[in-house]
């Protein structure tokens, strides 16, 4: 449980996480709903998040690297499918095999690596194929798909379990690139032998059933980030970051607060100092822009965020609330992760994956509750 010494807590609601997966699975209709748990499940902790998702019914998990895949296999046991998006190199092929992690093959070179691993293993090996429909980041570009179509023997020894691609602009439903990518995906997968198909990430699921194919791959929405930024967030909040007030002081005009004397009091103010800083992932760009919630009262940041501390103007909070030892919500608890991200000039993904290891983590709900 929570040690008295904890001054920053991240509470992760595993029931909300499981509920978000079920909502997305319902939205996906007949398509299978996987879960993307790369980057330690977007910073919330894959070793707790993934079992909660598995208990909710998720059978297929995506990570980025072979190492993440091996760690997840230890957590989840032998049954779930685990796919590594970054694909194999010769150096990790044996590791992928040993841990039953299926690589996503992103180039003719990666196909050759996996075909060679199959020859060594003396048995066909499963893999997913990633075709690039316009992201120009990972995946076989159309010219390499054409080579594969002409020379299908390049896939000898590889069982293609999934053909996937990835949207660049799914969070902008009206963006013309979405339709271009759907057309390109149909064309590229049509050039290959028939296999189950996957295109949609979180936001893609909300573009409509024609993007669902056989499997959808939500990440961000599972963790409470809004997959439909132009509309109300359909997802439940999963993370709640709270920082403890260390000190409260009264300052008079014209005193200043913090580095650079950025906050200049124009009238007498009460300032609360909280034990969370940019080293904890509370971005420095939130100085003078962010806000916290103290027992339901919004309290704006005053001055710059420093490494281990931030300062809030609690003048307008009712007497007795802003006292040393009281907790202020900084992400969640009335300040959505998307709102924090917008104030920081970034996206919720970066806010969550920045959350530091110094923060005390508490998990509620879930299979071990
Ligand atoms: C990260 C990632 C996802 C998940 O995207 P979200 O926007 O977080 O839902 C899906 N597919 C691929 C290939 C990814 O890299």
Q: Which pLDDT tens digit goes with each residue over 125-180? A: 999 999 999 999 999 999 999 999 999 999 999 999 999 999 999 999 999 999 99
Q: What DSSP letter does each residue of 171-224 carry, written as one string?
A: TSTT-HHHHHHHHHHHHHHHTS----EE---HHHHTT-GGGTTTEE---GGGGT
- Give all strands (DSSP E) within 254-353, no chain letters: 256-257, 263-264, 269-274, 291-294, 297-300, 310-313, 327-331
Question: pLDDT band for position 3 (50/70/90)?
Answer: confident
- Catalytic (active site) residue 189: no
Domains and CATH numbers, the chain: 14-223 (3.20.20.10), 239-335 (2.40.37.10)
**What is the helix (H) or strand (E) element at residue 168, kind and residue range?**
none
Judge if pTM exceeds 0.85: yes
Question: pLDDT band for position 1 (50/70/90)?
Answer: low
Residues contacting ligand 1 via CB (< 6 Å): 36, 38, 85, 166, 201-202, 217-221
| % of the chain at pLDDT higher than 70 | 99
Task: Please choose from 39, 133, 201 the residue to mutate so as to test ligand 1's pocket, defined by most ligand atoms within 8 A of CB.
Answer: 201
Q: What does the pLDDT read at residue 6?
A: 92
Instruction: Tell me, in angstroms, the distance from the centre of ligand 1 to residue 85's CA.
Output: 9
Question: pLDDT band for position 369 (50/70/90)?
Answer: low
What burial class does residue 20 get, using C-beta atoms within 10 Å of its C-beta: 0-12 exposed, 13-18 middle, 19+ buried? buried
Instruction: Tell me, in angstroms, the distance from the centre of ligand 1 to residue 123's CA.
Output: 30
Question: pLDDT band for position 242 (50/70/90)?
Answer: very high
Q: Which atom of ligand 1 is nearest to the CA of 201?
A: 9
Average pLDDT, the chain: 97
Nearest CA to ligand 1 atom 3: 201
What burial class does residue 266 get, using C-beta atoms within 10 Å of its C-beta: 0-12 exposed, 13-18 middle, 19+ buried? exposed
Q: Which atom of ligand 1 is nearest to the CA of 138?
A: 13
Question: Facing residues of 299 across strands?
Answer: 292
Q: Which atom of ligand 1 is nearest to the CA of 217?
A: 10
Residue 299 and residue 218 in contact, taking contact as beta carbons nearer than 8 Å: no
Instruction: Tell me, in angstroms, the distance from the centre of ligand 1 to residue 120's CA.
Output: 32
Tokens representing residue 251 in the block = 């300052």
């Amino acid at each position: 449980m929570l040690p008295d010494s904890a001054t920053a807590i991240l509470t992760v609601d595993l029931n909300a996480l499981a509920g978000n997966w079920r909502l997305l699975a319902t939205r996906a209709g007949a398509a299978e709903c996987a879960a993307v748990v790369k980057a330690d499940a977007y910073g919330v902790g894959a070793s707790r998040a993934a079992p909660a998702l598995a208990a909710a019914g998720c059978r297929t998990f995506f990570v980025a690297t072979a190492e993440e895949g091996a760690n997840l296999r230890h957590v989840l046991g032998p049954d779930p499918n685990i796919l590594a998006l970054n694909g194999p190199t010769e150096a990790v092929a044996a590791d992928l095999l040993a841990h039953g992690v299926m690589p996503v093959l992103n180039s003719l070179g990666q196909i050759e690596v996996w075909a060679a691993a199959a020859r060594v293993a003396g048995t066909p090996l499963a893999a997913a194929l990633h075709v690039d429909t316009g992201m120009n980041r990972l995946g076989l570009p159309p010219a390499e798909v054409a080579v594969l179509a002409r020379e299908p023997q390049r896939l000898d020894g590889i069982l293609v379990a999934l053909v996937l691609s990835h949207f660049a602009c799914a969070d902008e439903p009206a963006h013309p690139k979405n339709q271009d990518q759907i057309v390109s995906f149909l064309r590229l997968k049509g050039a290959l032998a028939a296999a189950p198909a996957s295109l949609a990430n979180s936001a893609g699921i909300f573009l409509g059933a024609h993007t669902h194919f056989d499997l959808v791959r939500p990440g961000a929405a599972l963790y409470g980030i809004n997959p439909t930024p132009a509309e109300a967030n359909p997802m439940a909040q999963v993370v709640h970051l709270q920082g403890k007030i260390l000190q409260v002081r009264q300052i008079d005009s014209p005193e200043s607060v913090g580095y650079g004397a950025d906050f200049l009091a124009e009238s007498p103010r009460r300032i609360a100092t909280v034990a969370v800083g940019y080293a904890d992932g509370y971005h420095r760009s939130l100085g003078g822009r962010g806000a916290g919630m103290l027992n339901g009262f919004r309290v704006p940041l005053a001055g710059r965020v420093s490494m281990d501390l931030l300062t809030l103007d609690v003048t307008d909070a009712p007497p007795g609330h802003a006292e040393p030892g009281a907790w202020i919500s900084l992400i969640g608890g009335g300040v959505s992760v998307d709102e924090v991200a917008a104030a920081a000039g970034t996206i919720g993904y970066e806010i969550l994956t920045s959350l530091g290891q110094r923060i005390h983590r508490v998990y509620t709900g879930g299979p071990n509750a």
